[in-house]
A and B are shown apart, each in its own frame.
Chain A
Amino acid sequence: DAGITQSPRHKVTETGTPVTLRCHQTENHRYMYWYRQDPGHGLRLIHYSYGVKDTDKGEVSDGYSVSRSKTEDFLLTLESATSSQTSVYFCAISEARSDEQYFGPGTRLTVT
């Protein structure tokens, strides 16, 4: 299995509070991604990174920001969490742009 960890694995937070999710990889892969999974929607891309300090938006980026200061870490921040951001968040990595992606175990976030 690819060396991908996500923290925390579970979090409950209140509306309006900031939240940061962390993805850590030990594979030295260039590309990292954040997806959210919701019933009936499959997985949708939030943001991705193609190198240190290089990031771009995905399909559902509103309300989210990301940062990547080191190859191994990719952070997803909800500046002011809303109930619509209750979801399961997955991090993924790939070695090159056209390679398959490997997924982390996910973080279940509940915003009350």
Chain B
Amino acid sequence: AQSVTQPDIHITVSEGASLELRCNYSYGATPYLFWYVQSPGQGLQLLLKYFSGDTLVQGIKGFEAEFKRSQSSFNLRKPSVHWSDAAEYFCAVGSYSGGGADGLTFGKGTHLIIQP
């Protein structure tokens, strides 16, 4: 079964500083990878996705992520964070290779705090 690990439960970053959120996955086949963001009391919004091709993917709100197969990682980055980026971030992997349930397996999330 696939799994997703987000090693950092909380991260604090100063406004204007760069950001990197870590995500490691365990999956036998080629993964489909996603990053979602959740603001307090809201649903999840898709930031970006990786299916195949270029390993550096661009998303909304200035975010990007890089797929590294050798490290089983899909880290999320932003060069300069804004106070509005404070939220919960979830990495997810898709199970589509047959067997097991369709649907996404989520990491437990990273809570991002922005310091003024």
Contact = CB atoms under 8 A, between A and B. Distances in A.
B101 A106 contact: no
Interface stretch (B10-18, B67-75, B79-87, B103-111): B103-111
Interface string A70-111: 000000000000000000001010000110111111100000
A59 B101 contact: yes
B25 interface: no
Contact of B43 (A41, A100, A103): A103
Contacts of A56: 101-102
Contact of B101 (A41, A48, A98, A100): A48
B72 to A, nearest CB: 18
A104 B43 contact: yes
B42 A58 contact: no
Interface of B: 4, 32, 34, 36, 42-46, 49, 51, 90, 92, 94, 96, 101-109
Contact of A98 (B90, B96, B106): B96
A45 to B, nearest CB: 4
Contacts of A45: 101, 103-105
B43 A106 contact: yes
A102 B47 CA distance: 11
A7 B90 CA distance: 24
The 10 closest A-B pairs by CB, nearest first: A42-B106, A45-B103, A103-B43, A103-B44, A42-B108, A43-B106, A105-B43, A58-B101, A98-B96, A100-B49
Nearest to A44: B106
B51 A98 contact: yes
Given A44-B106, A58-B103, A100-B46, 20 more contacts: A35-B103, A41-B108, A42-B4, A42-B107, A42-B108, A42-B109, A43-B44, A43-B92, A43-B104, A43-B106, A45-B104, A50-B102, A59-B101, A97-B102, A98-B51, A100-B49, A101-B103, A103-B44, A105-B43, A106-B42
Task: Choose among B45, B49, B108 the residue with the greatest number of A CB atoms under 10 Å from its CB.
Answer: B108
Contact of A42 (B51, B90, B94, B103): B90
A47 to B, nearest CB: 9
